[in-house]
Amino acid sequence: MPTSFTVVPVEAQGEERQRDGQQREEEDDGDERDRGTGDGIARESSPFINCAELGRGNMYEGKNMALFEEEMDSNPMVSSLLNKLANYTNLTQGVVEHEADEDSKRKEVKGPRMGTFIGVYLPCLQNILGVILFLRLTWIVGTAGVLESFIIVFMCCACTMLTAISMSAIATNGVVPAGGSYYMISRSLGPEFGGAVGLCFYLGTTFAGAMYILGTIEILLTYISPSAAIFKVTDVGEETEAMLNNMRVYGTCIVILMAIVVFVGVKYVNKLALVFLACVILSIIAIYAGVIKTAFDPPDFPICLLGNRTLSKRSFDVCAKFTESNNETKTTPLWRLFCDSSLLNATCDDYFSLNNVTEIQGIPGIMSGVLTDNLWSAYSEKGSIVEKKDQPSVAGSEESKMGGLPYVFTDITTYFTMLVGIYFPSVTGIMAGSNRSGDLKDAQKSIPTGTILAISTTSFIYLSCIVLFGACIEGVILRDKFGEAVNGNLVVGTLAWPSPWVIVIGSFFSTCGAGLQSLTGAPRLLQAIARDGIVPFIQIFGHGKANGEPTWALLLTVGICEIGILIASLDSVAPILSMFFLMCYMFVNLACAVQTLLRTPNWRPRFKYYHWTLSFLGMSLCLALMFICSWYYALIAMLIAGCIYKYIEYRGAEKEWGDGIRGLSLNAARYALLRVEDGPPHTKNWRPQLLVLLNLDNEQSVKHPRLLSFTSQLKAGKGLTIVGSVLQGIYLDKCMETQKAEENVKALMGVEKTKGFCQIVVSPNLRDGISYLIQSAGLGGMKHNTVLMAWPQSWKQTENRFSWKNFVDTVRETTSAQQALLVAKNIDLFPTNQERFTGGNIDVWWIVHDGGMLMLLPFLLRQHKVWRKCKMRIFTVAQMDDNSIQMKKDLQMFLYHLRLNAQVEVVEMFENDISAFTYEKTLMMEQRSQMLKQMQLSKNEREREAQLIHDKNTASRSAPAVEASVAAAVPEKVQMTWTKEKFVAEKHKNKDSNVSGFKDIFNMKPNQSNVRRMHTAVKLNGVVLNKSQHAQLVLLNMPGPPKNRKGDENYMEFLEVLTEGLDRVLLVRGSGREVITIYS
């Protein structure tokens, strides 16, 4: 027949488009001259530049880029995008994965304005210098000695410097929005690490607030106003307990007051930050000025010693046993403290009587040479007296009770590692600059420069202070934590010039400011984590006031801070926050090391002075310092982080941030795949690697969800699982259905806890699609070796005639691919993962040897909670010539060597005559098969008949000239001219052939081979029903399909008969290799 073509000019591709074009020309006629260039060609109208009001119709006017216009929504023109790239806050997204897509609800950042000095250097300086410098550094120097103190400070400063180098590399690898270490870690190491370490950093910042508040109260009650204490000392030895109670009461009041300040006026806290920083800087300048002054005019701070023991001057003012006045000897208040009366013949403390009272200068000056005495450590037990080395002393004959005597005692047991934990918080605060990255002119330049400069400055201050304190102050004063020997003055204040009050007031305000900063920063950090949505149980803390202030997060922060206040001891709180900060710094170093070693294409930091070895060294140093500070605190902190990590992994939101751990996993997977040999594993390592074939309905939902339940029960999360399905059609047309199907399958896999991969294939027919999956699923050595599928329940229905053909072909293909096959019959009756069998049996019918699959599968199933209480029974069939008793013994011995516990039974099935029932069943099967073929032939005839009528009508309408030309050109074609007589004759001929075909069906005799097979199926089914009708699961050897493909439908009938009457059946077909062994 001739084929006609219609040629449509390009200029006329549809009336509708013509009308749209004319309308557009009329609408735009007025401004066409404005948009046109000199040559009359309209310029391209950008979808991004000043054209938000334009409709889609005139968005892409220019014809130069018409080829790309359908993709411009996702791939914008470069010319349109360039002006957006200058400022990252206005970047138009071309891909969904970009970070700003998730931050679309965030307010636009104000124009950056701060430089390196104001934006990074000073904030870092303020956060690093703080309470430990003023309250504990002199005590650390006195206790550990100058040398060991130098080592402590050097280790901690080296740790923060290495961390700053890693942080600088991460911070300069693209734009870092406000979020500091949390943002860097989460985007570099993934949401699990980011959330865990982010929450640890939040806890560290919160406990830092508690530490600063405790420092504030200690300065207030010890050095400014001791009389303000609520709990007074009534009995000897209650000083420490009274001090802790005062800390708790005042701390609770101050933390509530600070919370109100933060809630009401956080902007004032930020404005006062420079005032607090000025206090710190003035205090440090006063210390250096005082050191210079000691070279020529040391301050007068006398210390009273009894023998070599340091005395507290809070209870007396004259450092002597008695005084001479008007030739009269009078005892002093010191005498009355050691003696039972003020008389010269009073009974006194033995040590007091034997030793003299001497007075020495507490601040001998930098030129005095006291540095040599302070080089070495002087660790002591709790409650021991602070003693001066090389001072003459006579021990008493009997040591009396010293609790009520005015000695200076140590309040805690001191040792090197404990001092590291107390000191480390003084070097934290290096993240302050990166937290302000959104407010900097050039964050990628300012953050490295400002942070490293601030760490260098503070490291110099700390290291120089250690040497200067050791060179200027007497050792007993350094070890006097609360300045009792110098009339209750702050020890570092005694060195300052012009007055100790400069240090006291400066340190008081700086600790207040640091506490406010912690209570301001910690809730915002928690809010950022909550808004990321990676930790579901803290999402409520992402909400706040209308202006974005984190109200709920502030309440939680105050509550956690109160825990630190109730601990009440600054020396006990400091190691806690050391753990959290060290963990945070450790993961910053890990992030940099991972990114550097992976060499991901996006890893291009502007800061070039980094190396993975430095990051690894910093990470190792952080880990070492954690265990040096406190091994049990370190384990607790790591346990907390680990629990949060696992919680986010199992319950958290899925986030794809392009993190390094994902890249590390890909590299590790690639390495492992290359290492795994692309061949069969050893029998000892064999386990079923499943390809699960699912059927989907018209809504792309899974028809048999229990198949995935059974998969998870069989696999228990081990090995490889690929869940595959086939959609019929063309991929270009089925793209959306494929995505929907994949989402549905993955969702069901999550519900059923099936750990594996999903693969959806689109194919013109189901048969080829299943073949593609069997051949190509998996990668390298990680390929499936077992196929699991459901039995086609509707295979007998005439409208579903291809289901059994696909099934049989799948059986053949798995055999050809040397893969095992598991077919679950009545899959909808299989248990869910929530069900538990309290008893019953798993029956294995071992008819032929399949490599041990039948033995291995029940063992694997009984590892799962659903099948754990089921017992395993193994049946085998004995023929006429077999010794059933010996078979049972051999099978029991075989199971003993396999280390499998199972009950063994040998069933005797002797040859007997084929029953009439079997003969009749075979006959009915063959008749049904033949009838279906006849029906199919008649259907084909009907289709041919309709085609003939259609051809006749078409031929009758054709012109005679056309018919002649066709006949001349194609003489061998079918004659298209029909008469009524020919048509009727053809029709009757087909009817007669059909009638004769149906008559033959009722006269046919069954095939003897089919009769024998049916006999086996019926007989074996009867034996299985007799023994295993009430079993929870029956495993059967699955016979292979016939070599002659004409008997495929009969094969399905045999399997149906074999499993008839059983609730849950798993047909097993081995792969042709051994999968279980008796050897170790």
pLDDT at 957: 47
pLDDT at 102: 45
**Among 314, 362, 360, which residue's Cα sits nearest to residue 337?**
314
Confidence band, pLDDT 50/70/90 cuts, at residue 451: very high
Q: What is the pLDDT of residues 763-793, one digit of tens each?
A: 998 888 999 899 888 887 788 889 999 988 8
Confidence band, pLDDT 50/70/90 cuts, at residue 107: very low
Burial 909-947 (b: 16+ CB within 10 A, else e): beeeeeeeebeebbbebbeebbeeebeeebeebeeeeee
Mean pLDDT, residues 609-638 taken together:
92
Whole-angstrom CA distances from 685 to 516, 677, 1077 are 60, 13, 10
Bridge-based pairing state of the strands 820-825 and 841-846: unpaired
The phi, psi pair for 763, rounded to 5°, reads -145, 150
Least confident stretch, 7-21, 549-563, 778-792, 1064-1078: 7-21
pLDDT at 28: 47
Q: What is the pLDDT of residues 812-851, one digit of tens each?
A: 898 888 889 999 998 999 999 888 998 899 999 888 877 7
- Pick the more confident residue, 759 or 314: 759
CA atoms of 540 and 674, how far apart (whole Å): 46
The structure's pTM equals 0.67
CA atoms of 54 and 37, how far apart (whole Å): 20
Angle at 262 between CA 260 and CA 266, to 5 degrees: 140
* 75 pLDDT higher than 80: no
Whole-angstrom CA distances from 169 to 120, 122, 592, 593, 997 are 16, 21, 7, 10, 84
Q: What is the pLDDT of residues 630-676, one digit of tens each?
A: 888 999 988 988 888 888 877 755 665 655 566 667 777 777 777 77
* 127 pLDDT higher than 90: no
pLDDT at 943: 57
* 471 pLDDT higher than 90: yes
Percent of the chain with pLDDT over 70: 74
Whether the upstream peptide bond of residue 705 has omega within 30° of 0, thus cis, is no
> Which residue is associated with the tokens 């636009």?
108
> Which residue is associated with the tokens 């291995």?
856
Q: Where are the alpha helices (DSSP H) in 652-730?
A: 660-675, 706-715
- For 419, other C-beta atoms within 10 Å of its C-beta total 24
- Pick the more confident residue, 453 or 587: 453
Q: What's the 3-state SS for 115-162?
A: CHHHHHHHHHHHHHCCHHHHHCHHHHHHHHHHHHHHHHHHHHHHHHHH
> How is residue 792 written in tokens?
């086609």
> How is residue 157 written in tokens?
């400063």
The conformation of residue 870, written as its DSSP 8-state character, comes to: P
Confidence band, pLDDT 50/70/90 cuts, at residue 987: low
CA atoms of 674 and 148, how far apart (whole Å): 50
CB-based contact 994:938 (threshold 8 Å): yes
CB-based contact 790:668 (threshold 8 Å): no
* 59 pLDDT higher than 70: no
> Which residue is associated with the tokens 């900097």?
440
Q: What is the pLDDT of residues 138-191, one digit of tens each?
A: 999 999 999 999 999 999 999 999 999 998 888 888 766 655 667 777 777 777
Mean pLDDT, residues 732-750 taken together:
91
- Pick the more confident residue, 568 or 80: 568
Confidence band, pLDDT 50/70/90 cuts, at residue 109: very low
pLDDT at 930: 62
* 526 pLDDT higher than 90: no
| Residue 163 burial (C-beta neighbours within 10 Å; 0-12, 13-18, 19+) | buried
CB-based contact 1064:1032 (threshold 8 Å): yes
> How is residue 1025 written in tokens?
């029903």
Mean model confidence pLDDT for the chain: 78
Angle at 602 between CA 601 and CA 608, to 5 degrees: 100
Q: What is the pLDDT of residues 425-445, one digit of tens each?
A: 999 888 877 766 666 778 788
Mean pLDDT, residues 740-752 taken together:
91
Confidence band, pLDDT 50/70/90 cuts, at residue 446: confident
> Which residue is associated with the tokens 């059923």?
752
Phi-psi region of 1006 (alpha: psi -120 to 50; beta: other; left: phi over 0): beta
The conformation of residue 915, written as its DSSP 8-state character, comes to: P
- Pick the more confident residue, 318 or 671: 318
- Pick the more confident residue, 681 or 1051: 1051
CB-based contact 424:394 (threshold 8 Å): no
Mean pLDDT, residues 72-83 taken together:
49
CA atoms of 739 and 747, how far apart (whole Å): 12
Mean pLDDT, residues 357-366 taken together:
90
With both helix axes pointing from N to C terminus, report the angle between 180-189 and 500-532 in degrees, rounded to the nearest 10.
Answer: 40
pLDDT at 427: 92
**Among 69, 166, 145, which residue's Cα sits nearest to residue 585?**
166
Strand order in the sheet with 309-310: 309-310, 302-306, 357-361
* 613 pLDDT higher than 90: yes
Mean pLDDT, residues 21-49 taken together:
42
**Among 495, 386, 309, 308, which residue's Cα sits nearest to residue 142?**
386
Mean pLDDT, residues 6-20 taken together:
44
Least confident stretch, 297-306, 633-642, 918-927, 1058-1067: 918-927
Question: Dihedral, CA atoms, 488, 491, 492, 497, nearest 10 degrees?
Answer: 60
Confidence band, pLDDT 50/70/90 cuts, at residue 286: very high
